[in-house]
Amino acid sequence: MNKKQPYMNVGAAVLFGLFGLLFFILLSRYFTIQFTGEVGSQPLAAKAEQKYSRTGNLEAARGVIYDRNEVVISEDTTSYTLIAILDKKMTTNPKNPNHVTDPEKTARELAKIIDMEESEIYSILTKDQFQVEFGKAGRDISHQTKKEIEALKLPGITFKRDSKRFYPNGIFASHLVGYADRVEEKDGTYNYVGMMGIEKTLNDKLTGKDGKINYESDLWGYLLPNGEQKVTPAQNGNDVYLTIDQKIQTFLEDAMNKVVDEYNPKKIIAIVADPKTGDILAMGQRPSFHPKTKEGINESWHNEAIETSFEPGSTMKIFTLAAAIEEKKFNPNDMFQSGSYQVTSKDKPIHDHKRSGWGTITYLEGVQRSSNVAFAKIANELLGFEKFREYLTKFGFDNPTGIDLPSETSGKIQFTWPIEKATTAYGQGTAITPIQQIQAMTAIANNGKMMKPQVIEKIVNHDTGEVIKNVTPEVVSTPISAETAKEVRDILETVVTNKETGTGTRYQIDGYSVAGKTGTASIPDPKGGYLDGQEDYIFSFLGMAPKDDPKLIVYVAVQQPEIEHYSMGSIPVSMVFNPVMKNSLQYLNIQPSQQEKASTAKLADLVGQGVTKSVKQLEESGLQVVVLGKDDKVTGQLPAADTDVLEGEKIIIKTDGKLAAPDMTGWSLRDVMKVAKISGMKLNSTGSGYVVKQNIKEGAFLRKGDFLIVNLKTTEEKLEMDAKEAGESTKGTEEELENLPRD
């Protein structure tokens, strides 16, 4: 036993020395770290900060888009992304699992709420991953849908808070406002990027800058009570105020929907503008799309009002007329031969939409009837082609307007050959955009000053309210004088009010004076020439109201509506123009003009008086006189003596002898009844409106007891009848294709 003692002492000494050495090394290491603050040349403080410091992202909101009255058009709203936790390690208490425990049940219940098949959901839930998402069907979950899913109490199903772009008005100026899509950035984060319209044009202004928060946490990532925090605030995107008026845009959307339902056109393009400022108050088209769901976007990717140019048809005549008046070359009472016109001996004749014409008529009537011949002669013989070309530039048809919307195109003026120069005068061959027509029309409505179209009113800092950019009205040019603009408006008013010769009578609005011009443009056939169906036209109207001081300009174009005859094309156009113009004027508190009551007077007893004296007396009172017979003494009158008559009313005077039939074309049935009664004839009438035919020719004798038969038609029916009588056809020779009927 004593022999072992020395060995034990040695062993103890060795162990003591070993532990002493380890303690010395540990102590040395401690003081080394204490004094240097480094381990393996790595600073410990940095290591600790890296381990316990956390960085959070403070998401910036995209700017809000408002209308001119601060009604929200587009904004960010809270949404949720659906997530499923699949890793079993996330469950520490089997009674309260934190992962998906029953994929079959979970798939079955979720399929009732989200837009995804049960089998597809099950496939996702059985993947070997920590957590999964559900693609498009699981993103942009609303708060209501989130509550429905949470009520199912499905283990492992949770949500990640997110944001989405919200368009509360749905299909509403969709191509103007545009839309923003969620795009993945290089760092793996997601952001909304404008893809069309204002969302695209002002994407840099609308996009904010995310902020950050740095904080100290414990091992599990929780914020330490006394930990330091460093916050870099998010900079939200700027807010944009548009010139669009939500009420007027709604009027426009509703009217277009009605036309689509009834006439199923290929396209509708419509713009409402303030001619004093150039502000676009509404802009829409059909087909359109929903900016959130993108439903319909494949059918209408382009903003037709600014990205598509086409032959305008007779709305172009407004600017040809304005140029001629400005140059003092237009006399409304000068006469010309309508029907056809040959620019040069080598050119094919230009035809009116009624190919036989209306005989020799005044240029004023040529404007009212929308005579192509009248405007070809104005451009060639009165104004001169070179001077006419200068005015096309003055009215802005050479260049885009510069409106703050993406992808604006310009028109193409065909002006090489004499025939092209002549047809441009009435809107054929040359192509321009609707927004160019709006800009040019502001010069007519705004006393010669042509205003740049604007869709942005101002841009405001979302966080501070500071106005970053304030858009003011911009005068592009002054192509005509105020006097010329007024004369053009006066003439364009007669296009709407003249029931016998005006092509725009359908666009009359009770209480408001409308001035404007119709258009009927043929559609080029890709194979050559033009399409030849009865509905293969772009029907349009460009008008303003009230005429003397226009507050609104409205342009409407309807392409290929389902109609029986091209003369009916004004019906769907007026279904948009009339309610939009009237409702908008009333909404803007533009008071209807006071209708002057026609003066009335009691009719004197003319029997026994001289015809010449009686006619003079009646005409001085503002009455129209029709004399039946050639004797010198009045033997009968209608209306009878002491009858109240209105200014402008027809008075029928009868004399002795044979009575000759007057030309009653354009008369009302009431006036025809006067002739039948005073001559003792039996009246038979068909139709309604105004007389287009009578069985007794002008100058033939009216015999007591015989039948007087008249056929009456409305203005629209008369236009259709004129077209059929003229034998117009959109099929045939190349010459006919070149000169398809246009109003």
Non-local (6+) Cβ contacts of 68 within 8 A are: 241, 242, 243, 244, 245, 279, 281, 457
Distance CA 34, CA 36 (A): 6
Measuring CA to CA, how many Å separate 105 from each of 132, 159, 737?
17, 19, 68
Non-local (6+) Cβ contacts of 260 within 8 A are: 268, 286
**Which helix or strand (DSSP H or E) is residue 233 part of?**
none
CB-based contact 518:315 (threshold 8 Å): yes
Q: Which has the closest alpha carbon to 239: 454, 471, 464?
A: 464
Non-local (6+) Cβ contacts of 452 within 8 A are: 278, 401, 402, 403, 439, 473, 474, 475, 476
Long-range contacts of 142-151 (CB under 8 A, 24+ apart): 142/79, 142/80, 143/78, 143/80, 145/80, 145/113, 145/114, 146/80, 148/113, 149/82, 149/110, 149/113
Q: Are strands 682-687 and 707-713 parallel, antiparallel or unpaired?
A: parallel
Q: Which has the closest alpha carbon to 282: 294, 268, 302?
A: 268
**Strands (DSSP E) along 482-633, which ranges?**
515-522, 537-545, 552-559, 600-602, 624-628
Distance CA 200, CA 194 (A): 4
- Radius of gyration of the chain from its Cα atoms, rounded to whole angstroms: 40
**Residues known to be catalytic:** 314
State the amino acid at position 609 in one-letter form: Q
The distance from CA 55 to its chain's CA centroid, rounded to whole angstroms, is 47
The β-bridge partners of 179 are: 196
Tokens for 471, please give them. Answer: 């858009």
